[in-house]
Structure 1
Amino acid sequence: MPDIDYAELSVSNHHLFATSVEVSNRLAELRREYSITRRILTAVILSLLNIVNFFDRSIYGVVLPAIKESFQISNSQAGLIQTLYVVSIIVAAPMAGVIGRRFSRKWAIIVGSIAWCAAVICGPLFCGDSFTLFCLIRACAGIGESFLGTLAITIFADLFNEKYRPLVLNVFMGGILLGGSLAYLLGPLVSEHLADVWGLQGWVWVTSGTGVVGAVFLIPAVFIVPDVPMQSPAGGAKKKGSMAADLKYMFSCKSYIFTVIGYTCFSFTLGSKQYWDVTFITYSSYVNSNINLDEVINIIALIVFVCGWLGSIGLGEFARFFKNRGYADAQPVTTGIVGMFSGLTFLGYMRAINYSVPLSLTFFGLTSATLCAYVATFQDLIMSTLPPQMRPLGAGMATLIGHLLGDGFASLIIGAISDWYASGRDNTYEVQAESLITAFHVAQFISTIGGMFFIGVALTLRSDLKKCRRFVKRKGASAGTQPKEHTEGNSDELKVTGTQRSSARSSDPFVPLDDNNSPRLYYNVEEGSGSSEQEHSNQ
């Protein structure tokens, strides 16, 4: 058995621990640099932009019957509108991750959002009767959303600690729910009141006006959102590392892979459901005379908001309560269990609508709650399992995969399946409604699979969190200066004192405690035996 130089090993382990403390202190200093008020306002402004983004994405599903009538298109062509929009997000998301990793994340978000506003305003106004031009301009709008969705969460990860980050992400991702519910509520109202004003159809006003609102919220973002430097374990500021090495790490992390697959499954179901809901209810209202279309859509707007937030914020905070008490796998377990029931509640909502509207809406609420359980959980899991310098790229890759295999082609696939089912049958509203019910069996099955993958995350999360901490320490140590020689006289200089360990602690609730609360092993120089960090602090 080879001899072990316990003195050298002690130096190495002390240096690794000191590096971990330096990373924690660096983030603490960064958070102290920006006041609590500014950090909260940053979260509020970016969340408002996210609400407008998802209002825009949802409004096309609300006014889809009017768009179909305006351009005289089939279900497959109608699904293409959303598909092209999401494909642009797919293309831009990795680019956003790379740009955010190397340049200013704040200005990347602002420039991308300006491009989004321009496309959203110009698309419906200048396309005329050309469906092709309308789709091409609509595709350009996805670029801005990809920059906001990819980079905002990495800014939150640097500005807020582990204790408060899930709450901030819950609020930010709640924009999906609030934006969707506002689209259901305001879409028909604005479209009806502004119809034929200046010769423009109502749906043109409500879709183009979204870009104007986004531009208004973008103005304070320029002055309030801080230009937060990317954090690296090797020296504080962002570092241009190897993308290939980062990708290798990410795809060797089982928790990251399972999280992305689960997110993709839920994204497929939620995206296709939001896009086709109003069309399905419209068809059903012609079959079932008990359905008051305007009343049902207003009720759905309320359900989407209340039940969506119950699923996202309520279940998210429930999981965070247990996570902060040592149950690291509380988030994926909660998301997985409720997610596996989403397929059944979705099926109940669609099948019950022609028999009992209240029962159908009850199932609709349960479906909204169960499908939205992933909304903030998956972002926090990605931020937790990846080192800081990999988070923009990791979020970008998750966005790419989630949209490419999820909601990117979901609306097109559902539309194509419904057209296939309806072909050769009478072109009646009953057949059209039944064709959508049949097509959504695919989405219901996929959401159940997504819940199973989040259970898989719970089985691998603890080991991947340890792997991430080891990576941060190792990279930080390799960038530091190792002492050339070690004697008993200078070994005390390497000891990490209780003051150093607690320097990240602050009365500011948004500054973190130690990033790693688990005991760290080191070798005692004199005895050559293993002991824990707690023992070392008493020496």
Structure 2
Amino acid sequence: MMCLECASAAAGGAEEEEADAERRRRRRGAQRGAGGGGCCGARAASAAGVAAADDEVQTLSGSVRRAPSGPPSTPSTPSSAAAGKGPGAQQPKPASLGRGRGAAAAILSLGNVLNYLDRYTVAGVLLDIQQHFGVKDRGAGLLQSGGIPECTVPALHGRWPQPLSQTQHRPHFPEGVFRTHRAPSDQLPFPVFICSFMVAAPIFGYLGDRFNRKVILSCGIFFWSAVTFSSSFIPQQHFWLLVLSRGLVGIGEASYSTIAPTIIGDLFTKNTRTLMLSVFYFAIPLGSGLGYITGSSVKQAAGDWHWALRVSPILGMITGTLILFLVPATKRGHADQLGGQLKARTSWLRDMKALIRNRSYVFSSLATSAVSFATGALGMWIPLYLHRAQVVQKTAETCSNPPCGAKDSLIFGAITCFTGFLGVVTGAGATRWCRLRTQRADPLVCAVGMLGSAIFICLIFVAAKSSIVGAYICIFVGETLLFSNWAITAEILMCVVIPTRRATAVALQSFTSHLLGDAGSPYLIGFISDLIRQSTKDSPLWEFLSLGYALMLCPFVVVLGGMFFLATALFFLSDRAQAEQQVNQLVMPPASVKV
């Protein structure tokens, strides 16, 4: 027994000496590589430095841990990983992961489509909801922003009917005859969507960095699917429950905005990752357009708008199951080009401070909020605005019995789907062409697209007074230019934010875009519309004009977003260079890491 212990100790000592010798050889090789080879030499030296680093690395943000990549005594190097030799070499990806990456990205993108399909299905049946619950524009806008509405009760010619709880069959009142009664306790709307998103986003971000991400995603989808399906059975007298249920959809969006992009980032390398993230974000206009089409088509086929709210939950349950069983459980940093593993992790507070100091990230996030503001407001109100325009032009009747405005929602949804695809392709192509001429191509292309879009959005309200076809043409061009920046914005984030902060950056940017954008813009437009109509007599003409005047806020916000992209262009090169420098520091020896 003593001989075995001695042999074991001797073997252990020999292994430690051999490991120490190997570390010294790698340090010398790294120094030679750094001295002879520019960027490649520096990258090889920094990677070798991480291989020789201890498990505990001291940074300016405190102590960070390096994720283990194998036996501690045999750390890997880029050379050994490339050769596929040695116990510390990077192991090849499992066959199942290689075959299933495309399918996993498709499933995750499908889930994002369903998130937006569910939200904009409500816009496709908005007139029917207003007729059913007896709410005006302000209350209807809450369905998208998620606030608790004022206590609304229909009044016809100044005479109040019986309380809703005592009426068995509620009559359908003609559009424009509803009056709003404000309960003293409901003076201000309570932003349920904003609050639910604010609470859910950091929770999902925290859980996504520590637990099984695909399980969290599936649970989030199952939750909002159940809430949406239940909302289709809400009785007429409980409109506030419908608003509350729509606000809870923010939980599902929070799970996707914080977790799904990080999974895609771990499935693909840098070049392919940008493409797949572009496809993922293309789901925003695609899902929005399909929402209008689904809402209009299902209510016509079933003869009841409630069935429109039961389609996305069924698809959501299926997608959640597919994510749970078909999306691979990838390790964080799996596809990182610096070694396929997380090199260093700073604290969440330090990450937030670094992002706030990143000027390109801040300005591009504000610009994204402007895009979200416009798409949320236009997506909610344009179908209703065009229907009112046709009523004024005597080409359509005032909506008194559902279904209402199905044709406008269907056409607008089809335009949104096509322009979403065309915008992403056009923006990516224009950016590639401009990169040959300027290094600031990404933010400049976004700025030009935003400013051009503002012009055509203004023309919508000019053309709608006399020509619905002309209004649709302006919508087509304006949305194409507006959607051209989705993929480019994701690329800007990848360029100016280091890999270990990208998940937090995506979550914060998504949170900001919803908070300052589509979470409140539909309600704000509805509020302004009702405010303008308060000083006038209700008529089809003023219903059309008041909503048009309120929607004129959108092009001004879009112009502001273009200014933010121009500001991004001023700092883009310096912030990108700083991010590249920080990436190199992440893989340097402990004494040199300054993240």
Please point out which of 47, 56, 59 is paired with 2:121: 59
1:272-307 deviation per Cα after TM superposition (whole angstroms, max 9, x unaligned): 110111221222221113469554443323321222
Q: For residue 525 of structure 1, what is the aligned residue in structure 2? A: none
* 1:249 match: 354
Alignment partners' CA distance in 2, 1:439 and 1:119: 31
1-side partners of 2:230 and 2:264: how far apart?
31
**Aligned residues of 2:383 and 2:412 also touching (Cα < 8 A):** no
Change (3 A) 1:126 1:441: closer
1:214 aligns with 2:319: no
Deviation larger for 161-170 or 270-279? 161-170
Shift of 1:89: 2.6
**Which residue pairs with 1:304 in the alignment?**
416
Unaligned runs of 5+ in 2: 1-27, 36-40, 51-76, 83-88, 147-191, 398-404
Q: Could you report, residue by residue, the CA deviation over 1:407-458 in whole angstroms, capped at 9, with x for unpaired residues? A: 1111111111111111121111211111111112222101111112112222
Which residue type is aligned with residue 299 of structure 1? I
Deviation of 1:157 after TM superposition, in Å, equals: 2.2
Q: Residue 192 in 1 paired to residue 308 in 2?
A: no
What are the superposed Cα offsets for residues 202-252 of structure 1, whole Å, 9 maximum, x if unpaired?
A: 221111221111111222211221222223889924866311111111111
Instruction: State the match for 1:284 in structure 2.
Output: 389
| Counterparts of 2:569 and 2:267, CA distance in 1 | 26
Q: 1:143 aligns with which of 251, 254, 268?
A: 251
How do 1:34-183 residues align onto structure 2 when only pairs under 5 Å count? Answer: 35-84=97-146, 86-87=193-194, 88-126=196-234, 129-183=237-291
Deviations 1:127-151 (A, max 9, x none): 5531122222222221012111222
Conserved 8 A contact 1:93-1:399? no
The one of 501, 504, 509 equivalent to 1:390 is 501
The 10-residue stretch of structure 1 (11-20 or 358-367) with the greater mean CA deviation from structure 2: 11-20
Does 2:370 match 1:265?
yes
One-letter amino acid of the counterpart of residue 210, structure 1: S
How far does the alpha carbon of each residue in 1:485-504 deviate from its partner, in whole angstroms, 9 at most, with x for none?
A: xxxxxxxxxxxxxxxxxxxx
Q: Distance in 2 between matches of 1:83 and 1:62?
A: 16
Q: Residue 319 in 1 paired to residue 345 in 2?
A: no
Cα distance, 1:167 vs structure 2: 2.2
After TM superposition, give the deviation of residue 126 of structure 1 in Å.
Answer: 4.1
**Distance between the aligned counterparts of 2:136 and 2:406, measured in 1?**
24
Per the TM alignment, residue 332 of structure 1 is displaced from its structure 2 partner at its CA by: 1.7
Q: Does 1:426 align with 2:524?
A: no
- How far apart, in 1, do the equivalents of 2:592 and 2:578 lie? 23
Q: In structure 1, what is the equivalent of residue 448 of structure 2?
A: 337
In 2: Cα distance, 1:321 partner to 1:225 partner: 35
Residue type of the alignment partner of 1:272: A
The residue number in structure 2 matching 1:521 is none
List gaps (5 residues or longer) in structure 1: 1-6, 196-201, 483-539
Give 2:44's aligned residue. 18
In structure 1, the residue matched to 2:69 is: none
Amino acid at match of 2:442: Q
Q: Which residue of 2 aligns with 1:508?
A: none
For residues 28-69 of structure 1, the C-alpha deviation after alignment (integer angstroms, 9 at most, x for no partner) is: 958844644311111111111111111111111111111111
Give the aligned partner of residue 374 of structure 1: 485
Instruction: Tell me how far apart the structure 2 counterparts of residues 120 and 101 of structure 1 sit (CA, whole Å).
Output: 28
For 1:219-238, what aligned pairs fall within 5 Å after superposition? 219-231=321-333, 236-237=341-342
The alignment-based identity, stated in percent, is 26
Are the aligned partners of 2:219 and 2:320 in contact in 1 as well (CA < 8 Å)? no
Q: 1:254 to 1:82 in 2, by over 3 A?
A: same
1:166 Cα deviation after fit = 2.9
Give the Å deviation of 1:72: 0.8
State yes or no: 1:459 paired with 2:570. Answer: yes
Change (3 A) 1:31 1:381: farther
How far apart are residue 362 of structure 1 and its match? 0.7
State the SS of the aligned residue for 1:391: helix
Question: Partner letter of residue 506 of structure 2?
Answer: A
How far the C-alpha of 1:180 sits from its partner, in A, is: 2.1
User: Which moved further from structure 2: 227-236 or 208-217?
Assistant: 227-236
The answer to whether the 8 A contact 1:284-1:354 is kept is yes
Higher relative contact order (CA 8 A, sep 6+): 1
| Residues 1:327 and 1:222: Cα distance change in structure 2 (over 3 Å) | farther
TM-score by length of 1: 0.80
State the 1:91 CA deviation.
3.2
Which amino acid in structure 2 is aligned with residue 152 of structure 1? A
Alignment size in residue pairs: 469
| Contact 1:384-1:465 within 8 A present in 2 as well | yes
Letter matched to residue 336 of structure 1: A
Q: Answer with 1 or 2: which has the greater Rg.
A: 2
Aligned pairs (5 A) from 1:524-535: none
CA distance in 1, matches of 2:326, 2:481: 35
Name whichever of 77-86 and 366-375 sits farther off.
77-86
Q: Give secondary structure in 1 for the equivalent of 2:505.
A: helix
CA contact (8 A) 1:173 1:375 kept: yes
- Looking at structure 2, the residues matched to 29 and 128 of structure 1 have their Cα atoms a distance apart, in angstroms, of 61
TM-fit CA distance, 1:92: 1.9
Amino acid in the other structure paired with 2:321: I
- Give the aligned partner of residue 351 of structure 1: 462
- Residue-by-residue CA offset, 1:388-423 (whole Å, 9 max, x unaligned): 221111111111111111111111111111111111
- Point out the structure with the larger helix share: 1
Whether the 8 Å CA contact 1:91–1:400 is kept in 2: the answer is no
Question: Residue 317 of structure 2 aligns to which amino acid in structure 1?
Answer: A
Residue 436 of structure 1: which of 547, 561, 568 is its match? 547
Change (3 A) 1:294 1:162: same
Letter in 2 for 1:66: D
Write the letter of the residue equivalent to 1:225: V
Q: Is the 8 A contact 1:117 1:215 kept in 2?
A: yes
What's the counterpart of residue 474 of structure 2? 363
After TM superposition, give the deviation of residue 320 of structure 1 in Å: 4.1
Letter in 2 for 1:50: N
Q: CA RMSD in A?
A: 3.0
Native 8 Å contact 2:383 2:408 kept in 1: no
Q: Kindly state the Cα deviation for residue 107 of structure 1 after the two structures are TM-superposed.
A: 2.2
In 1, Cα distance between the equivalents of 2:126 and 2:382?
Answer: 10
C-alpha spacing 1:331/1:307, structure 2 compared with 1 (3 Å): same
Aligned residues of 1:346 and 1:444 also touching (Cα < 8 A): yes
Residue deviations 1:331-366 (CA, integer Å, cap 9, x gap): 221111011122221111122112122211110101
Q: Which amino acid aligns with 2:367?
A: G
**8 A contact 1:269–1:447 mirrored in 2:** yes
For 1:475 and 1:481, how far apart are their aligned partners in 2? 9
